Amino acid sequence: MQYLPIFVQLTGQPVLIVGGGSVALRKANTLLSAGAKLSVVAPEFAAEFITWQQQGKAELINSYFVPALLDNKLLVIAATNSDTVNAAVFKAATARNMLVNTVDDQAKCGFIFPAIIDRSPILIAISSFGTAPVLARRLREKLEALLPQHLGPLATLVGSFRNKVKAKISSFAGRRQFWEGVFNSDVVRKVQANQLDAAKQHLEQLLTAPQKHSGEVYIVGAGPGDPELLTLKALQLMQQADVVVYDNLVSAEVLTLVRRDAEQICVGKKAGAHSVTQQDTNQLLIDLALAGKKVCRLKGGDPFIFGRGGEEIQALVPHNIAFQVVPGITAAAGCAAYAGIPLTHRDHAQSVQFVTGHCQHDGSEPNWFSMSNTNQTLVIYMGLMKAAYVQQQLIKAGRSAETPVAIIENGTRREQRIVTGKLYNLAELVMQHQISSPALLVIGDVVSLQQDLHWFGLRPQAAVFSQNLTQMA
Ligand code: SAH
């Protein structure tokens, strides 16, 4: 071990920075966040230093470095752009047995600044000791993504209970078992849901009357397919769950990110061919949660946009099953972005309407007239089978037959395919290009921008206008 990682209590401790430019600023920022008492010496200073001096956060010494400035300092940082000055600082500091850091010159470092992941009071420091800084940075990014933000408040909460637990449970093994139970309990979910008082009460209860571990359901939006469009929270809960209940829309790439030993249950749904009824899915979630499992209900796109997430949590509520909902990137947002179609644009569309092409149970019709406005973009979910009907009804309601349309198949995925045309041949396009599910219909003038704004995957296939225009009426 070339360096020993230690965490230094710097609050109120005198630290000298030599240098007043941007490099010195970066270090000064880190040191201030640790509460250090900063002195900065330089012939000139970046503007932020002047502000800090006015706010009483730093003392500025307008001169060149002299060794006497090291008197009574705990640490020193050489951050000038002159190797000669940095070397002089290093020499003077080591002569006094002081710890010195010379920015970007590891040979002149008695200590180094690691990359940090701050979930205070949890703090993680990473360093490759100058050998592979890019690798260390990538590692930091990975850990940042993996470690939930609620770790900090959770650690603070359990920290405030440490003495109480010690007083109540005398054996070390007993205490360890208690804490294992806490981390598997609803306390974590409550902190995660930002219900700190409830979490505290629950922890109190666990201490007075230990309870059976209870299950919960995470209703998680998995986005339209590209796994990199998952939210950090979705990924964390996919990693935390005992069971993952998913439907057909969830892409194979996304499923590979589920915890390896979690059970996976498919409740695939396709329009017209329900393999598992919604009621059965609701019951499955209830049964699993009541059996004490952490269930990740993984849904394509966003759970609250044509995702029946609302119905599923309505089924959980009467059973007092804890749940949380994680939004996902809905197909409209994902497909539009990856197709280069801004859903609104100051010159073309002031509003956007998301519509389902799937019939209501009671046979009620969508309000076609409300979709006839030229300045409005329409995004039709589940509209593939109904393309001919959508086309007919929109034109009947007064939307111009010349309105540009796009059909986006497998949006955001490697196989993404886009076909563009005009409203009067929408249905023909679906047939001609043998579009398959999942596919989204986007209707409106904004589609014309796609020609210039396309960036992802295959170039769009423009329509072959074979249609007889008499069909327009
Ligand atoms: N909750 C989902 C929508 C479920 S409805 C969401 O927020 O996205 C299912 C419909 O979504 C499909 O019929 C299709 O119209 C659309 N869809 C979902 N993912 C898609 C994708 N990757 N590409 C194109 N359309 C998609």
- 350 inside domain: yes
CATH number at residue 22: 3.40.50.720
The whole-angstrom separation of Cα 396 and Cα 411 is: 29
Are 295 and 321 in the same domain? yes
DSSP lists the bridge partners of residue 245 as: 265, 297
Q: Assess whether 83 and 66 both reside in one domain.
A: yes
155 & 223 share domain:
no
Q: Which of 306, 413, 435, 437 for a ligand 1 pocket mutation test, highest count of atoms within 8 Å of Cβ?
A: 306
pLDDT of 275 > 80? The answer is: no
62-66, 189-193, 407-411 — which is least confidently predicted? 189-193
| pLDDT confidence of residue 467 | 42
**Which residues are near ligand 1 (CB < 6 Å)?**
224-225, 249, 299-302, 305-307, 330-331, 335, 381-382, 408, 410-413, 437-440
The domain tally of the chain equals 4
Q: Which of 27, 108, 233, 269 is catalytic?
A: 269
264 in a domain, yes or no? yes
d(CA 77, CA 101) in angstroms, rounded, equals 5
Q: Let me know whether 318 and 244 are in one domain.
A: yes
CB 57 within 8 A of CB 45: no
Name the pTM for this structure: 0.75
Spatial distance between the Cα atoms of 18 and 79, rounded to a whole number of angstroms: 6
Residue 443 lies in a domain: yes
Residue 137 pLDDT: 84
Distance CA(40)–CA(31), nearest Å, equals: 12
For residues 430 and 349, membership in a common domain is answered with yes
Separation of alpha carbons 396 and 403, rounded Å: 13
Contacts of 379 (CB under 8 A, 6+ apart): 331, 332, 336, 343, 352, 353, 354, 355, 440, 441, 442, 443
pLDDT of residue 195: 93
Which is higher by pLDDT, 359 or 62? 62
338 and 444: one domain? yes
pLDDT tens, 41-88? 999 999 999 999 999 999 999 999 999 999 999 999 999 999 999 999
Task: Mark whether 190 is an active-site residue.
Answer: no
User: What is the extent of the structural domain holding 95?
Assistant: 14-113
In this structure, are residues 262 and 218 in contact, taking their beta carbons and an 8 Å threshold?
no
402 touches 424 (CB < 8 A): yes
Best residue among 249, 384, 419 to mutate for probing ligand 1, ranked by most atoms within 8 Å of CB? 249
Residue 131 domain-assigned (yes or no): no
Are 337 and 458 within one domain?
Answer: yes
Q: What pLDDT, on the 0 to 100 scale, is given for residue 473? A: 34
| 166: annotated active-site residue | no
Q: Which residue has the higher pLDDT, 274 or 191?
A: 191
- Per-residue DSSP letter, 447: G
DSSP, residue by residue, 352-408: EEEEE-SPPTT-PPP-GGGG--TTEEEEEET-STTHHHHHHHHHHTT--TT-EEEEE
